[in-house]
Amino acid sequence: MSQPARLRQDAEALAQPFPPLLAAAEHLAASVLLGEHGRRRAGMGDEFWQYRASMPGDERRMIDWRRSARSDAEFVREKEWQAAQSVMIWVDPARSMAFTSSKHPEKGHVARTLALAVSVLLVHAGERVGLTSMVAPPRSGQLQLLRLATALSEDSDEEYGRPELRGILHHSRAVFVSDFLGDLGPIETALTKAADRDVKGAMLQVLDPVEEAFPFDGRTIFESMGGAISHETLKAGDLRDRYLDRLAERKARLADLARRTGWQYDLHHTDQPATTALLWLHGALGRVN
């Protein structure tokens, strides 16, 4: 089975038990097309919203004759304004995501599966989903899922990924999935920029259990996945505490960054069931507003 197809299948399986995700939408923006979000105001849509007395300027054909016949005044039947939300997804394609310790799946695989699973839910809910890169602008429909799966399967040669913001639409929602182990600067910039464009969303950090435990000892040369960065130590065991401190600090900074920009942040380990993370994403996209 080709990789995108397989990715899609995994994601569908993961998303199956969840009811369609209804991402909250606060504002109507340029990106809004017709979707299933009731805007709680009269507008274009299928659902009945209210009757109001007709006013001068209303077209004749807008009058609801059945309602009007019951009284003396003429009434216009208004429908609720429904809009679809755009959700932009960025999954770290860098080589660091290819890391796995022993039997757990690669971080990258987990990240892509989760992203696509969220996409599946969103598409089922009638939302538009796209990638933050220009490759796949937001659309809805099953075909878009295929496009997403193909686009997500592409790797980059970078050691660590930096969020892509080129294709992001104003006022949309975003999901960033990465290990966030690289330089924090670009991430910070990206989030700030996103906040400037009124893009809010969820940041999911995916880590391998080994990256949390650092179970190394003895003389070791650590190399990044591409081999570009290396660090030699004589007693890896002695570094454990300091490494863990740094990792905790990194997480704290990410959480802090998220809080300041109105994003949601969570950590997922590849040895945990992906459902938990998907559930969180599901909730997080609903919480952001």
Partner 1 sequence: MIGALGFAAPWLLLALIALPILWFLLRAVPPAPIRRRFPGVALLLGLEDDDQQSQKTPWWLLLLRMLAVALVIVGFAGPILNPEERREGTGPLLVAIDATWADAADWPRRTARLDDLLAEAGRAGRSVAIVPLTGLPAGDLPFQSADAWAGRLAGLEPVAWGVDTDAVRGWAAGLEGRFETFWMSDGLAADWRADVLAAFEARGPVTVFEAPRPAVGLRPAVFEDGNIVLTAVRSRADGPASLTVAAHGLDPAGTPRRLAVAELDFAPSATDASVELSLPAEMRNRVTRFEVEGVRSAGAVSLTDDALRRREVALIAARDEREGLRLLAPTHYLEQALEPTADLVDGALSDVILANPDVIVLADVATLAEGEGEALRDWVEDGGLLVRFAGPRLAASDVSRAEEDPLMPVRLRAGGRSVGGAMSWGEPKRLRAFGPESPFFGLAVPDEVEVTAQVMAQPDPSLPDRVVASLADGTPLVTRKRVEAGQVVLFHVTANAEWSTLPLSGLFVQMLDRLAVSTRPAALDPDDLAGTTWQPDQVLSGFGEVSDAGVLPGVPGEALAEGRLGRDLQPGLYAGEDRRIALNVITAETELAPTVWPARIAVEGLDVVRETPLKGAVLAGALLLLLVDILASLWLSGRLTGARASAAALVAAALLTAAPQPAEAQGAEDAETTALALLATAEVVLAHVLTGDARVDDVAYAGLAGLSDALTRRTSVEPAEPIGVDLETDELSFFPFLYWPVTPDQPRPSTEAYAKLNRYLRTGGMILFDTRDADIAAFGGASENNQKLRQLAAPLDIPPLEPIPDDHVLTRTFYLLQDFPGRHASRDVWVEAAPPDAERAEGMPFRNLNDNVTPVVIGGNDWASAWATTADGGRMFPVGRGFAGERQREISYRFGINLVMHVLTGNYKSDQVHVPALLDRLGQ
* Interacting residues toward partner 1 by CB under 8 A: 17-19, 96-97, 99, 102, 107, 160, 179, 181-183, 208, 210-211, 214-225, 227, 229-239, 242-243, 246-247, 250, 276
CB burial of 37-53 (b: ≥16 within 10 Å; e: otherwise) equals bbbeeebebeeebeeee
Report the residue number, 38 or 283, with the smaller CB distance to partner 1: 283
The nearest distance, CB 111 to partner 1, in angstroms, is: 13
Cα–Cα distance measured from residue 27 to residue 85, given in angstroms and rounded to the nearest whole number: 9
User: Using CA of residue 46, residue 48, residue 49, residue 52, what is the dihedral sign?
Assistant: positive
Q: Which is nearer to partner 1, 52 or 242 (CB)?
A: 242
Strands (E) located in 101-172? 128-131
Closest Cα partner for 92 from 264, 197, 207, 243? Answer: 207
Asked if 121 and 92 count as a contact pair (C-beta separation under 8 A), the reply is no
Nearer to partner 1, 107 or 268 (CB): 107
Single out the residue of 165, 122, 175 nearest to residue 144, CA to CA.
Answer: 122
Give the nearest distance from C-beta 49 to partner 1 in angstroms: 23
Distance CA 252, CA 256 (A): 6
Give the DSSP H or E segment for 39: strand 33-42
Q: How far is the CB of 19 from partner 1 (least distance, A)?
A: 6
CB of 95 to partner 1, least distance (A): 8
Closest C-alpha among 268, 243, 282, 262 to residue 180? 268
Give the whole-angstrom CA distance, residue 264 versus residue 202. 4
Q: Closest separation between CB of residue 137 and partner 1, Å?
A: 30
Between 51 and 243, name the residue whose CB sits nearer to partner 1: 243
When the beta carbons of 148 and 284 are compared against partner 1, the nearer one is 284
CB nearer partner 1, residue 147 or residue 269: 269
- Smallest gap from Cβ 218 to partner 1, in A, equals 3
- Minimum CB separation of residue 222 from partner 1 in Å reads 4
Nearer to partner 1, 47 or 217 (CB): 217
In a 13 Å sphere around the CA of 145, the CA atoms on its Cβ side amount to 24
